[in-house]
Amino acid sequence: MEFNLQNVIFIRLEKQDEIPYELLLLADPSKEVVDSYLKKSVVFIAKLNEETIGVVVLFSLDNNDVEIKNIAVKPQFQGKGLGSYLINSVLKNLEVKNYRNIFIGTANSSISQLYLYQKLGFKIVEIWKNFFVDNYVEPIYENGIQAKHMIRLKKEI
Ligand code: ACO
């Protein structure tokens, strides 16, 4: 069956629902790091029929600022507009509308992610030097580049 975004639903994950670790670990390879923010986050998922095909995790930084800590799409559904749909759905969410700014952080090596976030209106505001070297046990490589620094991007809501 051909994939159609109109058949995708965007819903909040409830406490009793299973946490989609397989997806979360695509965006963040450390389960310890994922668990550290998951407890204090709100999780939304994208569902197609009964299948969870995307996830986005929101973490409140303070009264004004919220952060997308994790966003991931199942590999076979990537590149079909779902990542953009998840971010746009988050921006329309009423709870998120109470914040002024939304942040997202990604590695210097995450080229397509940096492209996507900037295309959706996020602007680079900071670089957290050596974040991935200091906080992850294993070195991370993407696109032939070591993930060393976290590029922080911000969008006004
Ligand atoms: N190389 C080049 N361009 C790409 C790639 C790629 N590998 N993947 C997507 N794109 C482009 C698309 O062509 C599209 O551009 P276009 O609209 O001009 O055609 C654009 O990026 C957005 O693509 P979407 O289809 O909306 O995004 P997608 O559904 O693939 O979701 C995401 C993006 C979430 C990054 C997904 O690829 C993914 O899950 N990746 C693995 C996990 C990950 O890296 N998560 C983000 C880490 S950072 C964080 O979590 C805070």
Q: How far is CA 34 from the centre of its chain?
A: 11
State if residue 71 touches ligand 1 by the CB under 6 angstroms criterion.
yes
- What's the pLDDT tens digit per position in 39-92? 999 999 999 999 999 999 999 999 999 999 999 999 999 999 999 999 999 999
Query: For residue range 89-122, what is the model confidence (pLDDT) as tens digits?
Result: 999 988 888 999 999 999 999 999 999 999 999 9
Ligand 1 site-directed mutation target among 112, 120, 149, most atoms within 8 Å of CB: 112
| Cβ–ligand 1 contact at 104 (below 6 Å) | yes
| Predicted confidence (pLDDT) at residue 1 exceeds the cutoff of 80 | no
What is residue 95's predicted lDDT score, i.e. its pLDDT? 84
The answer to whether the CB of 67 falls within 8 A of the CB of 124 is: no
**Ligand 1 neighbourhood includes 80 CB (under 6 angstroms):** yes
Residue whose CA is closest, atom 34 of ligand 1? 72
